[in-house]
Each structure stands twice: as structure tokens, then as C-alpha cells.
Structure 1
Amino acid sequence: MLPLLEELDISHAHYRCDLFELISLSCPKLTHVRVEYPVGSWHSDPSEYDEHAFAIAKSMPHLHSLHLIRSSLTNKGLQAIREGFPNLEYLDVRSCFKLTLRGDVFKKCACGYRNIRISNEQTCRRSSIAITGAPIT
């Protein structure tokens, strides 16, 4: 157990959903988690990454910042994050190429965050959204 650990970076590997539940039990004071998936992981089954989002949202509701970089997360997983983290201030979903942030989807999921970082170089070269400051309403 690591009962005092507040920040965790678990990057560059593939994980099973139960890892996130185990981490939450071992590290109850976690407030910042960074998961950076290996290059090419966006070719994987998106439902696996949505399951990661569901597991993180269910087991780590006290997070203040979450980084899910190069995930195959879809809008369904993004919605689970939005609903599962009442205290989340910072969300980084750069290079999550399965997200479709059009219309109300982006506004609904981004509403309330103090900071959100999104880029999708695969569909829009050099496009990036970095929102900081007041929450989106």
C-alpha cells in the first residue's frame, strides 16, 4: 500500500481495468493520475479504453487532474469521466483520436472543467484546443 501517494504516472504500457481498481485501493489519496498509452494504441479496440475510463471514474472519484494521452477513448468514455469526477479540474485527452468533439458533445463534456487539453492531429493537422481559466458554461 501507498497510503500517502497523491500523484501517479503509469505510462507506456497496456493495462487491464482491474489495475485501476487495485491502484485506488492501494493509494486512497490519489488526486492526480497520468496514463500515457504507447504510440499506436489508438488502433486498439475503443471499448477497452472506454472500460478504462469507467474503471477510473468508478474507483478514483477524488481526482483533481486526469491525463489520458493516446487513448482510444470514445465519447462514451469521456461522458463517464464527466459524470464520475465531481472534483476534476484538469482533463488532458491529447491524441485520443476516437473522440468526436462536434456540436453539443464537446460542450457537455467540457463544461465545468477549469482546464481541458484536446488535440486531434490525425483529423486536423496542428489543431489543438487548450482551454484555461473560467469553466465553460
Structure 2
Amino acid sequence: MRFVASRVATTRDSRRELFDRAVLHLIEKRVQLPGITTLARLVRDVQLSTLEEINAAVVAPTPVHTRRELIGTLEVPAGKRVSTLEWMRTPVVKLTGKGDGRRAGSHLLRAGAGDGCGGSDGGRAGEAGGAGLLRAARQGPQDQESEG
């Protein structure tokens, strides 16, 4: 059953996939197949024990207070529909509620122009189609300062 344990450790195969691969492996090695129930039980037991070993190896170096915080993110707060972890991992689809989302962050580009965040276009980065950047490139640095 080392074959199944190595598959568990290196892949995310389901129990059914592990069972199928175990059957194929045993056939290839010309091993007499046990009963279906016996093999299914073996695959389940090997999968559970291997996953427990992996989890123990991952959890062992983690400080207790960090474990508590992580477990806390799994709980659904009162009045909410999803856990904190689910809330944090779900991407924001719509930032402004207007338009189709393509220019949802353009106000951030304009706001970051003069605050040392890399915006050097005088705040015109958010203009439609990059016209502000093109205009800024044509004008040169001296014209940009007089315009602002």
C-alpha cells in the first residue's frame, strides 16, 4: 500500500481515484486482487493515516496562538453568511458598482499619482483608453507641471 500512500502524499486524488489506481497497480504487478470491500477499506485507511501524518508535520511548527487564529477564521460570525476565511479568499468582483468593471480601479490610479506610488503622469492614468498617458508623453515633463 506504499503506492497509495505515495499518491496521497503527492496528489489530490479522490478516494475513488486512489482505489482505481490501486487496482491498476495491483494488476500491473500481477498481484491477486483482494475483495472490493477489503481494498476500499485499505485505501481509506492508508489515505486517512497519510493525511494525518502530513497534517501533523505541517501543524507541529505552528505556534499555538497562530493555530487558534487560523481556526477562528473558519467560524462564521453571527449575522454573517460566510466564514472570515471565505470572505478573505473570495476576490472582489465589483469595486465601484458602476460600469463593467474594466475601469473599476481607475480612481486609484488617479489618486496615487502624486503620493510616491509610482504615478508620474500627473493623475491622468485613469482616463479612458490611456489617452492621458499618451498626452503626457507628448507634452513632456515641463508642460505637465505647468498644466497641473
TM interval, short-chain normalised? under 0.3
Structure with greater contact order relative to length (CA < 8 Å, sep ≥ 6): 1
**Higher relative helix content:** 2
**Higher relative strand content:** 1
Greater radius of gyration (CA) = 2
TM-score of the superposition, structure 2-length normalised? 0.21
TM-score of the superposition, structure 1-length normalised? 0.22
